[in-house]
Structure 1
Amino acid sequence: MELLLETVALYSLKLAYETEGHSPILRDDPLMGGCDREVFGLLVRRGDLVGIQGEIGRCLGLALGAVGGVDSVLGRELGRLADDFWASQTVNELCTPLNALNVYLKNIQ
């Protein structure tokens, strides 16, 4: 799950900050901040749903802004997928919405 969390964060930040012609954002980029596999691993082991949702939520908010907000076509779908993520009640329930977010964010890059 840690890799999936890190990947969703990475794709979100790429969407928000990566510009054509500049160096790509990588997993070890300072922009990733607390969104790396080790931090997510700790949060998952603790069962810290709020912590996970907070870190991913910050990244999704940036991605949503980059696609024009919830009023844009891309933003409506991203918002719908994010709502499914927020509806998760346990860490184990995060897998399905995270997979959907991962696929969607990768496709709109």
Structure 2
Amino acid sequence: MELPLETVALFALKLAYEREGESPILRDDPIMSDYEREVFGLLVRRGDVEEIQFRVMHCVGLALDAIGGIDTVLGRELHRLAADFNAARTMEQIDKPLIALRDYLKVIQ
């Protein structure tokens, strides 16, 4: 589960901060320090759903701003997927909405 969490953060931060003609944001970029696989791994092992959601939603919020907010077609769908992810209450419930969020961010980034 750590890899999809890191990937969602990476794709969201790419939408928010990556600009054409500049170096791409990579997994080892300093901006990813709070969203590395190891950080998420620790949170997953602890079963800290709220902290995982907080970190992911921070990145998704940045991406949402970058695509024009909730009033755009892309923004409405991203907001819906993020709400599904945020509604999870257990680690078992996170997986499916996490994958949907990851797949959507991959397509729009």
In the superposition, the TM-score normalised over structure 1's length comes to 0.98
The Cα of 1:15 is off from its aligned counterpart by: 0.5
Quote the residue 1:97 is aligned against.
97
- 1:98 maps to amino acid: L
Confirm or deny that 1:64 pairs with 2:64. yes
In the superposition, the TM-score normalised over structure 2's length comes to 0.98
Aligned-residue RMSD, C-alpha: 0.6
Identity %: 65
Three-state SS of the structure 2 residue aligned to 1:28 is: coil
The Cα of 1:67 is off from its aligned counterpart by: 0.6
Number of aligned residues = 109
Confirm or deny that 1:8 pairs with 2:28. no
Q: Moved runs in structure 1, 4+ residues, more than 4 A?
A: none
In structure 1, the gaps of 5 or more residues are none
Deviations 1:28-58 (A, max 9, x none): 1111131000000000000000110011011
User: For the residues of structure 2 that align with 1:59 and 1:39, how far apart are their CA atoms?
Assistant: 15
